[in-house]
Structure 1
Amino acid sequence: MPQLPIVGLHHVTAIASDPQQNLDFYTDVLGLRFVKRTVNFDDPGSYHFYFGDDAGTPGTILTFFPWPRASRGLAGAGETTHTAFSVPLASLEYWEKRLTEKSVLVERTGKRFEEEVLTFADPDGMKIEIVGHADAGEAKAPRFATVPAEHAIRGFFGVTLLQQRAEETAAILNVMGFRKVAEEGKRQRFAAEGLALGNHIDLLVDPGASHGRPGAGSVHHIAFRAADEASQKEWREEIEKHLDVTPVLDRDYFHSIYFREPGGVLFELATDPPGFATDEPVDALGEALRLPPWLEPRRATIEPRLPKIELHKWKEIA
C-alpha cells in the first residue's frame, strides 16, 4: 500500500448554468471565497470557477463549469446527489436563519449518524447540505464574506453517492483507505482515518433507482487528496490493479488522475500542491482571469468570448 493515505476530498466539481448567478450564490449566500477564475482546460471557451476558504485549502474547494445554455440535470444512480459542508454544531441555527433570509428554501432534515443536517438547493437545483458537528475545526474565513468567522463554512464534510448496489463501490473505497464506520437504513458511511475535511463518503443504496441525466445542478466528479506527486504515483499503481486509470494530467494548480468507480461515479485523485497561489497572490485570488501557460498565447481570442462577470466584495476590508 502507498505510504501516505488519502485523507479526504480535495474538491468537488459540478455543472452550473448562469455564471453570475453561480458566482453570487456561493460568495454572497454561502460566504465562500472566489478562489480562482479560469477556463475549462478541455473546453477553453467556458469558465471554470473555484470556491473555497480564504486560502483555497484542499478539502474546501467546490468548482463549477458554468455553461449558460446547460439544461437542468437529473440526479440518479451512479452520481453524487448531495455535497455536504462542515460547520460547528452551534452554527446550525445561524445558517437556517441566514438561508431563509436569503430566500433559500432550507429543510432541517434532523440527525444523521448523530450529526444535525440542513438541506437545500443552489439556483441550479444542486443539493447542498450543511452538517453541524463537534469536530468542525478552525475556520479560514473568507475575507470578503458577510458570514461571521465563527459561523463560516470550514470545508467539506463529505458527499452522498446514490448507488443501486454497494458492494463493488465499497470495495474500491476500501482500497483507497475508506472503511465502513456506520450504517443507518439504506445509508452506509465510509471514512478515512483522522479528521481531515471531506473524509465522509456516504453510499445511499436503492436497487430501484434510475440513472440520472447530467446537466446544470449535477456533480461532474469528486476528487480525493494525494499528498504529493510521489504519493499520487503510488496510488495510481494501486488503483490500476482494480480499475482503468488515466495518465497524470496537469491541471496547473494540481496534478490529476481519473477513474470511474464500479457504480459509475467519476473519481479523481488530485495533488495538494502546488495550490492556487502559483499565478496570483492570496490577497488577489479570483480577481482576474488566469490561464495556464499553454493557453496564455490564446488569451486574446479566449477572453472576449467568455461571459462578462462581476466579482462583488460583499464586505469591504478596512
Structure 2
Amino acid sequence: MKDIKRIHHISAIVGDPQENLDFYRDVLGLQLIKQTVNFDDPGVYHLYFSRQDENKEMVITFFNWPNEHRGRVGSGQVGTIAFRIPKGSMDRWQAWLKDKGVDSKISGLFDDATLEFKDVHGLSLALVEGEEESDDDAILGFHGTELLSADPEGTRSTLVDDMGLNVVSENPAKIHLETRGEEAHQIIISTSPMPKGLFGVGTVHHVAWNAEDEAEHKEWQSHMLDAGYHVTEVKDRKYFKALYFKEKGDIVFEIATEGPGFTVDEDVNELGQHLMLPEQFESQREELVQNLKTLQL
C-alpha cells in the first residue's frame, strides 16, 4: 500500500447556511465551490468551500443543520481544524479577525504559533504560518487537524501502522504526526481524556484522506478490512468516491478519490453558483428548493 499523502477534505456540522457562507467567504476569504444537499439527508444543504484560485485541493464542507441541534465536542471526534497561511501573515490575520468581531488567541497547539478562534457556529478553527511566502495573506490550504481520540494509542496505531503517517514528536499531552506528502499535514492526537462527543452544530463529522484514483481507493478498502476495520462499501459522492470507517479511537475517517472533481456538473467559472443535485434527487428538485433557504451569493 502507498502511504496517505494528504487530507482530501474535512466535513463539519454547522447551522444557518447563509451565516456559514458569510463567514467562510467574507471573513476567511474562501470560495463557495459547490451547493448541493447531503446525499444521506437531502433536506439540508451540503456546502463546499476551497481557495479562490484554480487550486481546489483544499476542501472544507458543511452540513447545515438547524441551530437548535447543538453538538458536544468530545472524544471520538475531530477537534480543531487548522488552515495554513503565508509566512509572516499571522499578525495581519489576528488584526483582521478582530476587525470582523472574531475573538482569537495565540497558542502552541500545533507545536508552533497557532491562532485559535471559532466560526459563527462555534466550530474550533486555527491558523498556522507555513514556510511559503505570498503576495497576499490568503489561506494556502489545510495545515492539519487535532484529533480528540477515545484511545490515543489506538489512533496513533491506525495512522502510523495502517496509514503510513510519520511521528514528529510525543509527550504526555499529545502525539504529533505528519502526512508523507508535500503538504505535510500536521495531525495532533490529544491524550487528555474527555467525555464522549455528540454530533451536532459546532462539531466536525469526519476527516477524509486522499486516494489518487479508484484503483488505489479499492486497495485501501481491502487493506483496512484486512486490518480489522469495519469499512463501508464504496459510495458515489458524484465529485469523488468515498468509503468510511471508525479508527481505533472512534473518530470517523473517510478515504476519498481525487476525481472526478467539481467540474463534472458545473463550468469552473460557475462553481458554487447553482444548486447541483445528484441524479437520484433531480425529480425532487422543486420540493427540495422550497425547503432550502435561498442563499445570497
TM-score w.r.t. the length of structure 2 is 0.94
| Matched residue, 1:290 | 276
CA shift digits 1:97-151 (9 cap, x unpaired): 10000000011124743x22100001111100001121x477xxxxxxxxxx621
Stretch of structure 1 that moved more, 181-190 or 77-86? 181-190
8 Å Cα contact 1:165/1:206 also seen in 2: no
Of residues 18, 25, 28, the one that matches 1:27 is 25
Q: CA deviation at 1:196?
A: 2.0
The amino acid across from 1:61 in the alignment is V
Of residues 196, 199, 205, the one that matches 1:220 is 205
8 Å Cα contact 1:125/1:217 also seen in 2: yes
Q: CA deviation at 1:193?
A: 1.4
8 Å Cα contact 1:12/1:222 also seen in 2: yes
1:67 aligns with 2:59: no
SS in 2 for 1:214: coil
**What is the 5 A alignment of 1:198-277?**
199-207=185-193, 209-241=194-226, 242-277=228-263
1:193 aligns with 2:191: no
8 Å Cα contact 1:85/1:156 also seen in 2: yes
Indicate the percent of aligned positions where both proteins have the same amino acid.
Answer: 39
The amino acid across from 2:224 in the alignment is I
8 Å Cα contact 1:107/1:119 also seen in 2: yes
Stretch of structure 1 that moved more, 64-73 or 260-269? 64-73
Of residues 107, 121, 124, the one that matches 1:124 is 121
SS in 2 for 1:188: strand
1:280 aligns with 2:277: no
Separation of aligned partners in 1, 2:171 and 2:130: 18
Unpaired stretches in structure 2, ≥5 consecutive residues? none
Separation of aligned partners in 2, 1:192 and 1:98: 30
SS in 1 for 2:82: strand
TM-score w.r.t. the length of structure 1 is 0.88
**What is the 5 A alignment of 1:117-156?**
117-134=114-131, 136=132, 150-156=136-142
Separation of aligned partners in 1, 2:133 and 2:143: 11
8 Å Cα contact 1:89/1:132 also seen in 2: yes
Of residues 96, 100, 118, the one that matches 2:98 is 100
SS in 2 for 1:158: strand
8 Å Cα contact 1:89/1:116 also seen in 2: no
CA shift digits 1:49-86 (9 cap, x unpaired): 0011134623x111101112442212111111100000
8 Å Cα contact 1:11/1:63 also seen in 2: yes
The amino acid across from 2:114 in the alignment is V
Unpaired stretches in structure 1, ≥5 consecutive residues? 139-148, 312-318
SS in 2 for 1:123: coil
| Matched residue, 2:166 | 179
Separation of aligned partners in 1, 2:88 and 2:98: 17
Q: CA deviation at 1:26?
A: 0.3
| Matched residue, 1:14 | 12
Separation of aligned partners in 2, 1:251 and 1:94: 37
Two-structure CA RMSD over aligned residues (Å): 1.6
Residues 111 and 245 of structure 1: CA distance in aligned 2, closer, same or farther (over 3 Å): closer
SS in 1 for 2:296: coil
8 Å Cα contact 1:35/1:56 also seen in 2: no
**What is the 5 A alignment of 1:50-65?**
50-54=48-52, 55=54, 57-58=56-57, 60-65=58-63
8 Å Cα contact 1:137/1:154 also seen in 2: no
Q: CA deviation at 1:184?
A: 4.3
Separation of aligned partners in 2, 1:185 and 1:98: 35
Q: CA deviation at 1:5?
A: 3.2
Q: CA deviation at 1:194?
A: 3.0
Separation of aligned partners in 2, 1:202 and 1:309: 35
| Matched residue, 2:84 | 86
SS in 2 for 1:295: helix
